[in-house]
């Protein structure tokens, strides 16, 4: 039987979302780590370059500069909105499905013209946000 791992993200407002990247609980850290990994870019660029892209995106888009903002946007755009915003927030996802969902979302972004140019890179909005989330982990 295939093992299914559900990651339960439990946060309270922005407080839990802004805990250090590596300091999250197991489920939370695993989810954010998965979200913060732009797969194609990571096969092309080194981590420093991804961090620079992410930092540049946050500077260019101040409304998406925080970890909670980026996480919420990424999840919402994956069709995984967090429930009970402002109170206990939970999102359920099969961890193994996340990379596939992101890949499909990125392709969907390119098809729909939801692209941004960051440091010259022509990126899908999703992978730009992923890079931005990654860059926060570097801080």
Partner 1 sequence: MHIDARLLPGDTLIEGDICIVGTGPAGLSIAMEWNHTPYKVILLEGGGFDYDDQVHDLYAGKTTGQRYFPLKSTRLQYFGGTSNHWAGFCSPFDPLDFEKRDWVPHSGWPIRKADLDPFYARAQKILDLGPYEYDVAYWQKKDPALRSLLPDNPAIWNKVWQFSPPTRLGQKYGADVRQSKNIHLYTYSHLVDITANEQVTEIERITVRNLAGGQHTVKAKRFILACNSIQNARVMLAANKQAPRGLGNDNDLVGRYFMEHVEIKSAWLHLLTPDPLKLYLLDFGITKMRCELAISREMQEKYLTLSGTASFFPSAQARNFKPSIDTWTDADPRKNEDYMKRNMAATHQGNVRHMGAGDTIFMLKTRIEQAPNPESRVTLDTEKDALGMPRAILRWALTPFEKRSIRKLYELIGQQTGLAGVGRVQLMEYLQDPSDDSWPEFTSGGWHHMGTTRMSDDPRTGVVDGNGKVHGIANLFVAGASCFVTAAAPNPTLTIVALSLRLSDHLKRLAGIKG
Residues that bind partner 1 (CB under 8 A): 40-41, 43-44, 106-107, 109-111, 113, 115, 117, 119-124
Residues in the chain: 139
Of the pair 11, 123, the CB lying nearest partner 1 is at 123
Contact between 81 and 91 under an 8 Å Cβ cutoff? The reply is: yes
Q: Could you tell me the smallest distance in angstroms from the CB atom of residue 112 to partner 1? A: 10
Q: What are the residues facing 11 on neighbouring strands?
A: 89
Of the pair 7, 106, the CB lying nearest partner 1 is at 106
Q: Could you tell me the smallest distance in angstroms from the CB atom of residue 51 to partner 1? A: 16
Contact between 53 and 131 under an 8 Å Cβ cutoff? The reply is: yes
Of the pair 14, 40, the CB lying nearest partner 1 is at 40
Q: Could you tell me the smallest distance in angstroms from the CB atom of residue 121 to partner 1? A: 5
Contact between 103 and 39 under an 8 Å Cβ cutoff? The reply is: yes
Tokens of 136: 């926060």
Q: How many CB atoms lie within 10 A of CB 115?
A: 15
Of the pair 86, 120, the CB lying nearest partner 1 is at 120
Q: Could you tell me the smallest distance in angstroms from the CB atom of residue 128 to partner 1? A: 11
**SS3 track for 10-36:** CEECCCHHHCCHHHCCHHHHHHHHHHC
């Amino acid at each position: 039987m295939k093992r299914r791992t559900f990651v339960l993200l439990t946060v309270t407002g922005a407080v839990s979302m802004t805990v250090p990247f590596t300091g999250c609980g197991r489920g939370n850290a695993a989810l954010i780590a998965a979200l913060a990994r732009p797969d194609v870019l990571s096969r092309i660029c080194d981590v420093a370059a991804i961090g620079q892209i992410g930092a540049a995106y946050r500077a260019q888009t101040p409304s998406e500069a925080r970890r909670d903002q980026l996480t919420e946007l990424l999840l919402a755009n994956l069709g995984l909105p967090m429930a009970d915003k402002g109170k206990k927030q939970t999102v359920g996802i099969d961890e193994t499905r996340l990379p596939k969902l992101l890949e499909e979302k990125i392709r969907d972004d390119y098809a729909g013209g939801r692209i941004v140019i960051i440091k010259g890179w022509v990126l899908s909005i999703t992978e730009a946000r992923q890079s931005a989330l990654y860059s926060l982990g570097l801080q």
